Amino acid sequence: MLHTLDVVDVVVGIGAARFTAADVVHSCLDRIGAREPLIQAWAHLDGETALRQAHGADAEEKRGGLLAGVPFGVKDVIDTSELPTEMGSQVYRGHHARYDASCVGLARRAGGIVLGKTVSAEFAGTQPTRTANPHDITRTPGGSSSGSAAAVADFMVPFAFGTQTGGSILRPAAFCGIVGFKPTFGLYSPAGMKVAAHSFDTIGLLARSVRDIATIHAVMMSDASPPAELSIPRVGFFPSHLWDTVDDDMKAAVDSVLHKISAARAPVTEIVAPVGFAIITQHRAVINAFERARGLAGEALSHVEDFSPQSREVCERGFAISGERYLEARRATDDFRARAGEIFDGVDVLVTPTTPGEAPEGKSYAGDPRLQELWTMLHLPSITLPAGRGRHGLPLGIELVARAYQDQALLAHASWLSAIVTDR
């Protein structure tokens, strides 16, 4: 059952010689062997290489690093030197990078072991993937970091890297009942990641606890240890202009969370969206399509026939947008970012629903990204925590948002809230 251990428990257990890194990798591979035919979370696996690296780590006289002996997954739009990076696309079939992406290299430096590449929508877009939600295999796990979320939720691997352009980390994390973290824009190096929309793209993390997220974040930021817990935060409830799109069971989950926060003697204030906030997603749609099309201009020139229908559509839409309209959207978005501080007047952290409700049925639609993309386009750090179950018994998620560069404070607030909401 070593595959069920979280990141910190793996490191502690190996350090105490209760088991080895090879034991953990074997357990994860056994779990994958049993469950992968149902879940289909992996694009590429190399158990032989992972075991060789684990045996090498076990043979070292001195073990160290915050991720020593921890296997992890890598979304298939992020480069790894030993496995293909195919971007979820026929266009990149068999493509190998010479070097690891920055985030992968940092995780390896801390002792982590790449177990495999997780399934991604084509070019981290909207194309449906084959991956199933571990809680109900007839439903989507969310996208585009579908494989990363499903693999972590199904105990195939302790953590995985994902990417977020709109809501591609937080949405699948919420649908799969785990923790997803998107740092402040630009905090993690994007080197070695296939760019989707360069104004928004962020590498982030999926794990099963806030403690694990904080540990991996410390590795990404070259900190010696995760952040200490803070005092009780001042909480702002932010329903946003999208509250009417939220299902009743998600609203009930939010009410329950807010009640628990108040019972823990934390002040809660309802935050009114700034004037004009309702049109922010319209600007985001323009920027996203414009940048995605131009980011794929080279591939589209010679291989557009190999694109999925979703990728072709976004390219057609993006190339039809003028530079003037794009700049108009960029300026408007910059104005909103400059005013983002107003939302946090008198509060330390915002609480808002991560998604409108449970994971949708089927796999053709990965879910509504708007509740997550608000914060992605504003470049603010955000994290989703499990927050109960919906009407069909599937996971719901609550999202926490902080000011830019307050990532460590956000993780500390998330740790506090997780303790009173989810007991994790």
Q: What is the DSSP string of 211-235?
A: HHHHHHHHHHTT-SSPPPP-SPPPE
237 vs 272: CA distance, rounded Å: 9
Among 45, 72, 79, which residue's Cα sits nearest to residue 160?
72
Which of 27, 89, 102, 144 is flagged as catalytic? Answer: 144
What backbone phi and psi angles, to 5 degrees, belong to 33? Answer: -60, -35
**Cis before 144 (ω within 30):** yes
Which are the contacts of 388, defined by CB distance < 8 A and separation ≥ 6? 253, 256, 395, 396
Name the 3-class secondary structure at 100: coil
Q: Is 168 a catalytic residue?
A: yes
Which of 27, 75, 89, 194 is flagged as catalytic? Answer: 75
Amino acid at 154: D
Which of 27, 145, 168, 209 is flagged as catalytic? Answer: 168
Name the 3-class secondary structure at 351: strand
Name the 3-class secondary structure at 237: strand
Beta strands in 24-78 (DSSP E): 42-45, 71-75
Among 80, 102, 78, 91, which residue's Cα sits nearest to residue 168?
78
- Which H or E run contains 270? strand 268-270
Among 29, 164, 194, 191, which residue's Cα sits nearest to residue 95?
194
Yes or no: say if 120 and 164 are a contact pair by the CB < 8 Å rule: no
What letter does residue 278 receive in the DSSP assignment? G
Name the 3-class secondary structure at 198: coil
Residues catalogued as catalytic: 75, 144, 168
